[in-house]
Structure 1
């Protein structure tokens, strides 16, 4: 009767935790990208990306992208990672695709589009200009003259315009072989009259919010670094609430912009410049902007302001390189590494190095798991030995508990004496648990947030390690015409994870005397099977490999200490 009650209680608690985890996981721990494949008749088939071809439903969308691009003269952009064009009307970067990143894993998938022109669906663009008083300034309708027809690495383009009243404006744009644009804004006062005051500005504007969810573990939306401190506190609602008045910030150097899960657009002032910055919202449109101090341009003189624009993928090593080369303030924090950045980045670089060495991200994850477990083996061995010794002395501990059940002080004294005699440290098993917390959290971050794992295949049916495993027996491996979702999508990798965890617990010598705890430990592997099923396949592979290595370690330790195996 008691066994049935304990089993029922364990099942009830597991069910409550499972339902609770489902409700909070998307908010605090996004599990994976949306599925990129589904299994049909036992074979993986790429899924279309509904975000790749947006429809013109927004209040600001008045025409399709092709018509918007053809409505004004343009300068072509061509780099190893970018393609697009500069709009000479308004001097805007409003047409940009990432040529090395695809919307889906399908062979005919279009590249990821970052920028779209104003008036097209999901408009997204960057621009540059000046404010001032008593001077005719270029505006969004100004048509600029370009010195060339293509912007490429080592081939800058200068846009020029003269207001006809003695002031000439120029915007020189240069681009590297990755995602960084360098902008030089020049105002020349050719008059013989008075001086003029001008203040340059840069902005990034997007229509609508990111389709990627923001969570406690990964900030998506408005973000920036101000006075060397990364600000993840703002979200879309804060900017909406501030409206056109804006959320103001001031800083020396830094940067601000909008981040998606994998993509970033950031307006970056000169690292030594003092700027006023703001995030604004108006009618479903969001803008990040900054302005350095105004400059007085005397007759016959000119003023130059240098700034930068990052528009592309959150490539971790590339962001670090820009910080070092240009002196940017924590551009690498565009990736929401979290509290353990000091630990996560070395793990990322090790994983990336393994990937480049073996050419398969799944194999790199397994090799990383082996390295982590090897480094932790001395600690795991100590934990195993301590737990096994605790199991061996269980009869003596029970005898002490019976003998001194009415005298807790005496019981504690006798138990400590027993520990000393048997050379047992009761806290030895806690250290590995605490050490694994930052390791597991770091791996969760690295495997679910980094651009490098996006759309990376492993083997067989696993074509995207950043998405859940698509193969599940629930629909008979794709032979039934439906696809279960959430924790009901009990994938093959999740089942393997549950089996390896069950084998690990079965070999675990940890003493468990409470019947309810025994039932909970017995159910835990199968409970975790459902919890982990929606997670990225790469993370599941890590846990399967880790469990398997632990099983081998326990087998080896039992072979070295047979008396502990007998005490199980």
Structure 2
């Protein structure tokens, strides 16, 4: 029966960890002193060098200077009419091009590309003009066939001061006699942006057409970054109260694509930590269409029903867009069901309370590593009685092991009688042969829930713990001045976790030598499985092991 229990433990452990290791865990990216491609592109495109300080944003004179309308005709070069309008708020810096009225750049002031303090701000737009740019609007013709209109903005620069709300208006005229008036409304301290488009029919006949608003995305992290494999990355939409996620590989091909029609609350693109999304404010049905042409380039088109605009008439379309972090508390405050973009999977009912507990404890201690330790202690305390019972059952099983061996020898030719006698033995000593495995079974959902929380909580991105652990969302590595092949640095915390498992196995009495060797091999297996897990998760497992060792010590020193 001990062999059976050991087999169950191994199978459960492998089932939990092997799936995640091979599906989601690539080797850590090599360490280099030179900035990566993501940093280079972001540095070239980022307007961070001109970012204003909080004091600048609060200066009425400076803000007024930035808001002053300009004489467009005097500034534009007829050979190059498209200007880049820079919008600065306390949370982000956006660049809007007059060529199409689209977003060219959107950098987040509070987040950086890497953990390096000198890294440029995080840019959520990783596409180039040849790919198409986000927030292209077309009417009556699909975006892929729409002509790129030249807009004229009413300002060449916009600064949103503290507590302010400012608008940017762009106008364009189409060859069909339609005038497009796009109005962006920006608010300080808010990632939500209002986007209103008024389509005016300047012609002499009615026109019929449907509105299309487009997003274009590539992954927010560079290809090869370990984070890109942790959780889902790609397009998603909330349609008829159901979150639809589509794998990018399923969209490959020029004619391939997926469409979802119904009550669209939002449609966009997200990964573990960031989200770009269109929120239609109309209550009518809409269609979210996702397609991908090449190199993980994803196009999201939000289309509504066709409208007829009479001659001299106009129709207005209202949207909101969100470009920002997938911070659960923030998304809950903003509404529009944006919080549904944070998906903790099957064990969401366990993950959300765990997340709020982690967030609450961080508010008390100011360190997410310490908060993870406290969460581990609380979870361990909740399972303490059950684990206590399981450990006692294992201790009794060890005590009656000689009797079990005799029964197997005595009734080796009569399996039915052997099982009957074994059952009587268990009843006599009031022991459950599977009692030691039950705590592990019940902790698997908690493990998955905490795994999702630790990987999908942007609060842990680049969050330091102590000493060499400066990013709880990244694998644990202590760099010693030169690269260790494949590893890069020493996985100190992972080694400590494996060592704690070894001590735990040594403390567990096993009479069968073969079984003992198998169990002692498990720490080696777990070391390689955990090697590329987020250090926050390894920290949880290590502390959990230490607490289990303490509990085992207390149980085994008790006299029968």
Using the size of structure 2 for normalisation, the TM-score is 0.80
**Structure 2 counterpart of 1:95:** 105
| Cα contact 1:162–1:168 (8 A) shared by 2 | yes
Query: Which aligned pairs between 1:318-333 and structure 2 lie closer than 5 A?
Result: 318-322=330-334, 325-326=335-336, 328=337, 331-333=338-340
Distance 1:208 1:380 in 2: 43
Name the structure 2 match of 1:28: 23
Q: What is the aligned partner in structure 1 of residue 453 from structure 2? A: 446
Is 2:183–2:195's contact at 8 Å kept on the other side of the alignment? yes
Aligned with residue 169 of structure 2, among 158, 161, 168: 158
Cα drift, residue 167 of structure 1: 4.8
Q: Using a 3 Å threshold, how does the CA distance of structure 1 residues 313 and 162 change in structure 2: closer, same or farther? A: same
Three-state SS of the structure 2 residue aligned to 1:287 is strand
Residue 115 (structure 1) aligns with: 125
- Name the residue aligned to 2:74: none
Residue 520 of structure 1, CA deviation: 1.1
Residues 42 and 122 in structure 2, CA contact (< 8 A), matched pair in contact too: no
Partner deviation per Cα, 1:109-168 (whole Å, 9 max, x = no partner): 211112267448xx67312423228xxx99423223337842645223333345598754
Query: Structure 1 residues 208, 493: CA separation in 2 closer, same or farther (over 3 Å shift)?
Result: closer
Deviations 1:513-566 (A, max 9, x none): 44322111122223323332332222221111111111111222234x223xxx
Q: Which residue of 1 aligns with 2:378?
A: 371
1:234 pairs with 2:247: yes
Q: Is the 8 A contact 2:46 2:105 kept in 1?
A: no
Change (3 A) 1:83 1:66: closer
Instruction: Check the 8 A contact 2:219/2:233 in 1, yes or no.
Output: no
- Relative to structure 2, which stretch is displaced further, 149-158 or 88-97? 149-158
| Residues 103-142 of structure 1 aligned to structure 2 (within 5 Å) | 103-115=113-125, 118-119=128-129, 125-132=133-140, 139-142=147-150
What is the alpha-carbon root mean square deviation over aligned residues? 3.6
The number of equivalent residue pairs is 507
The structure whose RCO (Cα within 8 Å, separation 6+) is larger is: 1
Compare 178-187 and 202-211 and name the one that shifted more.
202-211
Q: Greater shift after overlay, 307-316 or 172-181? A: 172-181
Structure 2 gaps of 5+ residues are 1-9, 48-79
| Residue 485 of structure 2: aligned partner | 484
Q: How does 1:495-534 map to 2 (within 5 A)?
A: 495-509=495-509, 512-534=510-532
Residue deviations 1:301-320 (CA, integer Å, cap 9, x gap): 43222222221222122233
Distance of aligned partners of 1:132 and 1:387 in 2 relative to their CA distance in 1, 3 Å threshold = same
* Aligned residue in 2 for 1:8: none
Contact 1:95 1:125 (C-alpha < 8 Å) held by counterparts: no
Helix, strand or coil for the counterpart of 1:279?
strand
- 1:543 to 1:117, Cα distance in 2 relative to 1, 3 A: closer
Tell me which of 417, 423, 426 is aligned to 1:410. 417
- Distance across 1 between alignment mates of 2:496 and 2:292: 48
Residue of structure 2 aligned with 1:340, choices 339, 343, 347: 347
8 Å contact 1:161–1:168 — kept in the other structure?
yes
1:170–1:97 distance in 2 versus 1, CA, 3 Å: same
Is contact 2:411-2:417 (8 Å) kept? yes
Query: What is the 5 A alignment of 1:355-434?
Result: 355-434=362-441
Question: Is the Cα–Cα contact under 8 Å of residues 127 and 204 in structure 1 kept in the other structure?
Answer: yes
Secondary structure of 2:252's aligned partner:
helix
1:195-234 pair list within 5 angstroms: 195-206=206-217, 211=223, 218-234=231-247
**Pair 1:403–1:286, CA change in 2 (3 A):** closer
Work out the CA distance in 2 between the residues paired with 1:84 and 1:119.
16
- Matching residue of 1:541: 539
Superposed displacement of residue 50, structure 1: 3.9
Partner of 1:61: none
Cα shift at 1:271: 6.7
Q: Residue 91 and residue 530 in structure 1: after superposition, are their counterparts in 2 closer, same or farther (change >3 A)?
A: same
CA deviation map 1:257-278 (0-9, x unaligned): 3323422222232373311232
Q: Report the Cα offset of residue 99 of structure 1.
A: 0.7
SS of equivalent residue, structure 1 residue 218: coil
Return the alpha-carbon distance in structure 1 between the equivalents of residues 128 and 229 of structure 2: 32
In the superposition, the TM-score normalised over structure 1's length comes to 0.79
Check 1:138–1:519 CA distance in 2 against 1; reply closer, same or farther (3 A cut): closer
Q: Contact 1:75/1:148 (CA < 8 Å) preserved in 2?
A: yes
